[in-house]
Each structure stands twice: as structure tokens, then as C-alpha cells.
Amino acid sequence: MAKIYITDKDYKADAKVFLVNKDYKADLLFYEESKDYKAKGDELWYFVDQERKSDFVIYWTDKEYKADLNVFKVDKDYKAKWKKSHSFKNRILAR
């Protein structure tokens, strides 16, 4: 499951993430799930409110050049996927 916690400190994050405005600019297209049990794989994310409940910790950066990962939020779960080969592929689930 991709349970994601958002930290306000970049040094505490597993990855610094930038939200791009166009899907072709993204490394990963993600979908935000409403239930934790639906969040499977790297692409389906469920945001949690405590770090201890998470699989992966991110920091939203406001500068693309500072990001480890560029993402785009999609409106349907079947659209969520990796767009490019990336070092974080299959690592979002494992800490």
C-alpha cells in the first residue's frame, strides 16, 4: 500500500516531490484514494496524518529543480502509472 505522509521538513522526507501542471512532465501519475485499503502499488496514494502510519514520507517542494520526483495527480485510478523509468519505481512501498 502507498500510504503517504507529508512532512514540512525536507530532510525528514524519503523524497522531495514536485507537482507538475501537465501529465507529460511527470515521472509518475498518481491517484489519491479515499480508503487506505485501496491504495496499492506506487501509483495509488492514500494520505495519512501520522508518519508512523505511512509507507513513504514526502515533502512537497515548490521548485521543480529541487525535486527527486515529479508527479501529476490524475482524476481516475486506471490512469495512474509510471511515465518514465525512475529510481523510485517500486520503492515507494518499501521503507
Q: pLDDT digit string (tens) for 54-75?
A: 999 999 999 999 999 999 999 9
Q: Residue 10 pLDDT more than 70?
A: yes
Tens digits of residue pLDDT in 75-92 = 999 999 998 766 666 666
Its pTM stands at 0.86
Q: Residue 95 pLDDT more than 50?
A: no
The pLDDT of residue 50: 96
The pLDDT of residue 31: 96
Sequence spans of domains, the chain = 2-79
Cα separation, 43 vs 52, whole angstroms:
20
Beta strand 15-19 pairing with 28-32: unpaired
Phi, psi of 18 (to 5 degrees): -115, 130
